Amino acid sequence: MSRIIPLSELREQIDAIDAQLLQLINQRALCAIEVAKTKIASGEDGVFYRPDREAMVLRRIKDLNQGPLSDHTTVRFFRELMSACLALEKPMDVAFLGPEGTFTQQAAFKHFGHGVNTLPVTTIAEIFSAVELYHCQFGVVPVENSTEGVINHTLDRFLTSSLQICGEVEIRVHQNLLSKSPGFDGITEIYSHQQSLAQCRQWLDKKLPNVRLHAVSSNAEAARLASLNASSAAIAGVIAAEVYGLNIIEKNIEDEPNNTTRFIIIGQQASAPTGSDKTSFVVSMGNQAGSLYRTLAPFAKLGIDMLNIESRPSRRGLWDYIFFIDIDGHCESPEIAEALALIKEEAKLFKLLGSYPKAIL
């Protein structure tokens, strides 16, 4: 029979390990400071964050993890450690769709960690502008939801922006009914983003069929409005309830249990290959039979997986469309570079949006 270790002895071991961890963490932080000095000495005084480098480090940590901590917990811990160390090199500003407490802010923290400064703005277009004008180094914008599809404002803004996609992050979206009221009684109106209202359509029809619904710019704005009147409620995340002092009347009211939103990171810099990447681009072609097939034929010829395709009206003519496409791999790989070159020859319009690391957990 194995010996039961006394609690006092276990606590002594934990205290000793904590001391070692603290020493090692601070050694890593000192290395980060030296990295900054080396970069500045070599003339690199811009953004020190490298999405490809961070993705490779986190994947290596995930591969090394043998438990009992889960991969998710381990990656989250190291992301926060890297975020804190990066802040010692140079604090980074990230624009998100505000106000405080939105899923977009949650996505920013999941991707960058809490060592960044988050800047709330009111529209997706303003996120692009904040990065284009160098008010922020990066921005986080929603691009698609597993239930309700693409966010058209994001796709449309890429047509006129010089920014690149340099990362992606996925958030499991839990919607909650929030209010100053302690329960359903007395609620006459509900505020939320139009996507969230759509994600909870069946629940609303069943539980609150006669309540007025108002679409607003964000779920956090919905929570703010709901905080002004006890007869109002909001559909939003738990963070919004904390920020605006609301009761959670009912949790997880989304119709689909696996409701997930994908966000992309936009910035000025390109990302180097990591071995697990996506490439996104925009293409349009003539409105003739078979034109889409001919344009995308190089993917089949060269064995490249197309992960997603979305169409949007080009606004240049009746029934003229632009296609937003994601493929597996990095644009610097020989086969993808060849395929994209062939597509450019066939297409009427082609714009590379970026190659970037795939989301990690």
- For the chain, domains (ranges, CATH) are 176-250 (3.40.190.10), 277-357 (3.30.70.260)
CB contact at 8 A, 122 and 216: no
For residue 352, give both structure tokens.
């590379």
Positions marked active-site: 261, 263
Q: Model pTM? A: 0.85
pLDDT attached to residue 28: 94
Q: What ranges make up the beta strands (E) of 91-137?
A: 93-97, 117-121
Measured between alpha carbons, how far is residue 322 from residues 124, 295, 309 in Å? Answer: 20, 12, 10
pLDDT attached to residue 314: 66
pLDDT attached to residue 3: 80
Instruction: Give CA torsion, residues 342, 335, 333, 345, to 10 deg.
Output: 0
For 219-262, what is each residue's pLDDT tens digit?
888 999 999 999 999 999 888 898 899 999 999 999 988 888 89
pLDDT attached to residue 254: 93
Cβ atoms within 10 A of the Cβ of 256, count? 14
b or e along 3-24 (b: 16 or more beta carbons within 10 Å of the residue's beta carbon)?
A: eeeeeeeeeeeeeeeeeeeeee
pLDDT attached to residue 46: 60
Segments in the chain below pLDDT 50: 318
Cα gap 347→315, rounded to integer Å: 17
Report angle CA 98, 173, 63 to the nearest 5 degrees. Answer: 105
